[in-house]
Amino acid sequence: MKHILLIHVLLLIRIPSAIPAQSQASSFDTAIDGIIFGGLPFKGLVTLADFQQRLGKPVSVTTKQVENPHNSDKDAIHKLVYRGLVLDLYEITRDHNIAILDVEVSDNRWRLPAKIRIGSTREEVSRLLGKATKELNSEWEYICSDCVYENTITFKFSGEKVVTMKWKFALD
């Protein structure tokens, strides 16, 4: 009887060790999705004027006309370049609303709510987000786990430190 009880106790000790791995993977997914969607301070900005009012005058702005894939309208992609920040914004001409396509940050002057910053180490990124979906040379890419479209964040490293963070959002 003592041997059976000991086996049961040993089994109970072994089973919970599998649970944290699943919880850890789930917490990494939550952290990745959180940094992709909550890591930027642009809530409430819906027009080009809103972005420029909040962020100030850009160093440069370029605009490219594009055809709206859903109708015959001509929309615009605006590239706003600031020191340490580049934004690609899709403007729907019909209502002048903005969809963020890309955000690239290379300077901590831009106070982001993300827990990872320029200068964070590979170890810090890995500890907070787990293993990258894609690792290419000096870049680690993480893909949103709870998204219909492929929204990503990519960290570019120089040595062991983050030098650039880039968000890419898919456009429907």
Can you tell me the mean pLDDT for 40-61? 92
CA 122 to chain centre: 16
Domain covering 26-41+111-172 assigned CATH 3.30.1450 in the classification: yes
DSSP H or E segment with residue 154: strand 152-158
Task: Tell me the average pLDDT of the chain.
Answer: 85
The sign of the dihedral angle between the CA atoms of 79, 82, 87, 92 is negative
**64: amino acid identity, one letter:** K
Instruction: State the pLDDT at residue 24.
Output: 61
The average pLDDT across 29-39 equals 86
Neighbours of 95 (CB within 10 A): 9
What average pLDDT does this structure show over 62-83?
93
In this prediction, residue 23 carries a pLDDT of 59
Q: What percent of the chain has pLDDT over 90?
A: 59
User: What's the pTM value of the predicted model, to 2 decimals?
Assistant: 0.81
